[in-house]
Amino acid sequence: MRRASAERLGELQLDDAALQGLIADARRWIAHYAGPRSDLDDLVQEAMVELVVALESFRGESSVRTFAHRVVLRTTARELQRRRRTSREVMVQAVPSADDLLDPERALAGRRSLARFYVALDGLSDKLRRAFVLCAIEQLSHQEAADVEGVNLETLRARLKRARAVLEEALARDQVLATYSRRSQ
């Protein structure tokens, strides 16, 4: 099977280096989508397994990278749902920056706020969440995000607008996050 997949990937002119590059991208996409988590490596592994399977049916209608992005995000969304059903524990493991080491208290507050932010993201549907993550967090253009999602621009923009509205509402209800902007400024 590995040989068959390798042949298929060869047809797509994908070598190990390109796939390894996709692994690095997949890790970043997943981190942005799921937030700081201790099971990030598991999510990456699941996404790569799904990618190998999905590449069998890749018809070249988009770039491999866009296709891979779509597969990774959808796999991650599915995995997160599955893990939310089986375990309520979400382990936050953010990587401290140099500034954090200088001000540990501020760093802790920032990590907690980020964790609460991702809890708010959990309140979005998968489609709205993907649209928001692609455009707001990964900062893709609307056209790029629409390509990844396989929808037209209007649909993507409508999802993004709806996602922002839902998140604004959720953050307004959260007393800690509502004051975050004031404290940050």
Partner 1 sequence: MNRTPRSALDILTEAASAQRVPPPKVSDEEILREAFVRGGARLRRVRRRRGIAAGAVVLCALAAMALLAWWPRGPADVMTTPVSLALGEDVVHAMAGTVLDSDRSGCAPVVRMTEGAALFDVRTIGFTVAVPDGTVRVRGTVFTVVVASGLSRVDVYEGTVEVSSRDEVVVLTAGERFGGNRHAVPDALVLQGRLAARERARSAREDRPQLSEPASAGVEGFQHRSSGPASPRDRGVEESVLLAGPVERRSVASPTTPTAPTTLREPRVEPPSLEAVRALLEAGRHQDARDAILRARPTDDAQGEWALLEGDAERGLRAADRAAAAYERAATHFPPTRAAVAGYLAAVQFAAAGAPVEALAAIERWHVAERGAPLEERGVALRATLLARTGRDREARTSARAYLLAFPSGEARARMQRLLEEASVSD
Please, which residue, 48 or 73, has the CB nearer to partner 1? 48
At closest approach, how far in Å is the CB of 184 from partner 1? Answer: 5
At closest approach, how far in Å is the CB of 125 from partner 1? Answer: 17
Task: Give yes or no for residue 175 binding partner 1 (CB under 8 A).
Answer: no
Task: Give yes or no for residue 91 binding partner 1 (CB under 8 A).
Answer: no
Torsion of CA 170, 173, 174, 180, to 10 degrees: 90
Sign of CA dihedral 2, 79, 134, 32: negative
Please, which residue, 145 or 152, has the CB nearer to partner 1? 145
DSSP 96: P
Please, which residue, 35 or 128, has the CB nearer to partner 1? 35
Q: Which stretch binds partner 1 (CB under 8 A): 38-46, 68-76, 82-90, 142-150?
A: 38-46
